[in-house]
Amino acid sequence: MATAASDFSDKVRTDALQLVTMSAIPGAVAALARLNIFQALGRAGDDAVLTVRELAALALPGKAINITYLARLLRLMAAKKVLREVVAVGDDGDVTERRYALEPIGRFLVDEAFLPLLLTFQSSGFLQTWEHIHESVLDDSIAPFTRAHGVNAWEYFQQNPELGVTFNKAMAGHSEVYMRAVLDVYRGFEHVNVLVDVGGGFGSSLRLITAKYPHVKGINFDLPQVIGACPPLPAVEHVSGDMFKSVPSGDAIFMKHILHDWDDESCITILKNCHQALPEYGKVIAVNHVLPEIIHFEGGDHMAVQGDIHMLAFNPSGACERTERDFRKLGLAAGFKQVQTICTVDNLLAVTEFHKTV
């Protein structure tokens, strides 16, 4: 006989209910971001602890709003430790006032590092994709995003340039945060003179690398529609093209979050094009989420597995996060002689070098 729901422990019931209502969390964060609430709290300064009405006046001046709705969204943020709630209680025990301040996660969002990423994932175009995952399990010839829209994400960005810009800002913000951490531990740019960033987006990684190593000349390589929107950067030349045809030459090639967008065959094509563009002593420096062989439930392990499903949902068929062994196999198949993980950041991102010679 099937177990009745009441036979499960309260912990199991609560965890299951959390799981099925979880989309309320990014949905509420996105709503508050679209209403400028985090940004307004950030502008109010580090010590700001504001009432709902004060926040509304700062973020949405002159707008008639449903203050109760706003208050409910803010309470969820306090429950999730994005905001801190400070309450005043009257003599009768009633809460007379609720005030809100930024917690570290909220502050991180205010920095705008991750807001564009959240707004990309919470856009209707991306949300519709989730309805199609099961169809791709049954028939992987069409990726979930393409099932939802008839085109892949890169083509969708061309049709919806506003979302394309938000996505490119998201990746720039991601690089801004993680490349600083990579540069703290990775020393492999020290002897590089010309560094090509394949799929470099707006060039944020090269901006940080060339700032730390001024002798490095950067070549930022991406699709024409991305390069066309790039801001000029000192020490960086923007070049447009298609990495599946060829990539510019340099003594090292950098790729952050590129290989996880593609299936093995496409990755080998990209790596072969890099191999051809490098001198004998050259190397590819790839920064990727690295999947654990076995999940140990340490912070990064969880995140890599979660990110892997984002790759499945939003990228062409076969796109995935990979283990260190997977990267080694790809590199050897593309003609590299040595593939080595040099260091990791946050137990999540690995810096892997692919060398042409041993």
Catalytically annotated residues: 260
Q: Residues binding ligand SAM: what is the number (CB under 6 A)? A: 17
Residue pair 98/85 in contact by the 8 Å Cβ criterion: yes
CA-based angle 78:304:23, to the nearest 5? 40
Q: Which stretch binds ligand SAM (CB under 6 A): 54-62, 136-144, 254-262, 289-297?
A: 254-262
* Closest CB to ligand SAM among residues 106, 250: 250
Asked if 257 is part of the footprint of ligand SAM (rule: CB under 6 A), the reply reads: yes
Task: Give me the least distance between CB of 348 and ligand SAM, in Å please.
Answer: 14
Residue 171 binding ligand SAM, by CB under 6 A: yes
**What burial letters (b/e) apply to 251-269, b meaning 16+ CB within 10 Å?**
bbbbbbbbbbbbeeebbbe
Q: Give the pair of three-digit tokens for residue 75.
A: 């309470």
Give the residue from 264, 209, 261 showing the smallest Cα distance to 235.
209
Task: Please say which residue, 110 or 319, places its beta carbon nearer to ligand SAM.
Answer: 319
Residue 63: C-alpha distances to residues 39, 201, 240 (Å)? 17, 36, 44
Residue 173: C-alpha distances to residues 109, 259, 331 (Å)? 10, 19, 28
Ramachandran assignment for 19, one of left (phi > 0), alpha (psi -120 to 50 degrees), beta (any other): alpha
Task: Decide whether 106 or 144 has the Cβ nearer to ligand SAM.
Answer: 144
- Answer for the pair 325, 293: CB distance below 8 angstroms, yes or no: yes
**Any contact of residue 166 with ligand SAM (CB under 6 A)?**
no
Q: Can you tell me which of 99, 149, 169, 174 binds ligand SAM, judged by CB under 6 A? A: 174
Using CB under 6 A, which of 99, 132, 256, 322 touches ligand SAM?
A: 256
CB 135 to ligand SAM: min, Å: 24
Amino acid found at 80: K
CB 324 within 8 A of CB 290: yes
Q: What are phi and psi of 190, to 5 degrees?
A: -55, -40
Which stretch, 76-84, 170-178, 207-215, 322-330, contacts ligand SAM (CB under 6 A)?
A: 170-178
What is the footprint of ligand SAM within residues 212-251 (CB under 6 A)? Answer: 222-223, 226, 242-244
List the one residue from 136, 175, 273, 288 that touches ligand SAM (CB under 6 A). 175
Measured in Å, how far apart are the chain's first and last C-alpha atoms?
62
Binding pattern to ligand SAM, positions 260-279, x when CB under 6 A? Answer: -x------------------
Options 6-14, 32-40, 79-87, 168-176: segment touching ligand SAM (CB under 6 A): 168-176
321 binds ligand SAM (CB under 6 A): no
Binding site for ligand SAM (CB under 6 A): 154, 171, 174-175, 199-201, 222-223, 226, 242-244, 256-258, 261
